[in-house]
Amino acid sequence: MRPGDRIFKNLTTGSGVFVVVLIALIGLFLLLQAIPALQANQVSFFSSTWETGDSKNLKFGIADLLSVTVATSLVALVIAMPVSLGIALFLTQYAPPRLARPFAYVIDLLAAVPSIIFGLWGLLFLAPTIEPVSQWINDTLGWIPIFGDGNIAPNIRSTIFTAGVVLAVMLLPIITSLTREVFERTPTAQIEGALALGATRWEVIRTTVLPFGKAGYVGASMLGLGRALGETIALSIILFIPVGRTFDWSVFDGGATFASKIASNYAEFNDVTSAGAYIAAGLVLFLLTFVVNFAARSIIGDKKGD
């Protein structure tokens, strides 16, 4: 092996090891900082209580935080995935190049908008605009628990539904950009072969583009899910936190996610024990992202093997 190749190999190996070690150290730091608070906790860590104002009487649980975090992310993903797929297919299969390029730039620019802008837009413009839609869904499908009255009724603006729509807009550039890149790499020979056999444009997409790009599409969606799980400022602005009521698994509930809860209560971090409660919540979010990424890798691996 040449000296240059050996040096390059060592550098790349060291970079990979460094990232793994860094992640492990972050997890270890969170665990060590959370242990004192977990030992002082007077209720189950999986309860819905959150009282950390008195460091000598800590009562905190992650049940509601976990539920709201998962619910807002799933609502965002349910909205963003089909829209992103449609945009990616339009840009790669239907739009002429002179239209596709500037349109793609506009979509990509959404990723550069700060989260706080999305939060203000969602609270001051989007929430009042979609309120009639939210009310119609609640009135028409309210017999289904997921669309029933939330824990902040009659407020129907600062809900998980509104937060999910805002998150979906934030996820669009991530999922669309990566999916578009995958679809553009569909082998030309396969597309031309399908067309030569008389396939319509939709049949070409169904038989060549989608099978080739489904693993990348799922991977892009899981990357977007990771982004949604950790969103902080936008959700802190939009979501209304109810007092004395727990999460009921309705899209018209309010509440706080892991990230928004931590960001909204940073004033309590001057006490080490109280801060440990939030670090424990952060540790759960840290582990949750690992679970999501592991699931994404498993799904992508299965689809590649199909």
pLDDT in tens, 133-169: 999 999 998 898 899 888 888 888 889 999 999 999 9
Structure tokens at 181: 């890149």
Task: Quote the CA–CA distance of 13 and 214 in Å, as a whole number.
Answer: 30
Q: What pLDDT was estimated at residue 97?
A: 83
Q: What pLDDT was estimated at residue 199?
A: 81
Mean pLDDT across the stretch 19-36? Answer: 91
Per-chain mean pLDDT for the chain:
87
Task: Quote the CA–CA distance of 152 and 243 in Å, as a whole number.
Answer: 9
pLDDT, tens digit, for every residue of 233-284?
Answer: 889 999 988 877 888 888 999 888 999 888 888 877 888 888 889 999 999 9
Mean pLDDT across the stretch 124-141? Answer: 91
pTM: 0.87
pLDDT, tens digit, for every residue of 185-241?
Answer: 888 888 888 888 888 888 888 889 888 888 889 888 888 888 888 888 889 999 988
Scanning the structure block, which residue is given the tokens 């396969």? Answer: 190
Mean pLDDT across the stretch 66-76? Answer: 93
Q: What pLDDT was estimated at residue 304?
A: 55
Q: What pLDDT was estimated at residue 216?
A: 86
Task: Quote the CA–CA distance of 77 and 282 in Å, as a whole number.
Answer: 22
Scanning the structure block, which residue is given the tokens 């001057």? Answer: 270
Q: What pLDDT was estimated at residue 160?
A: 93
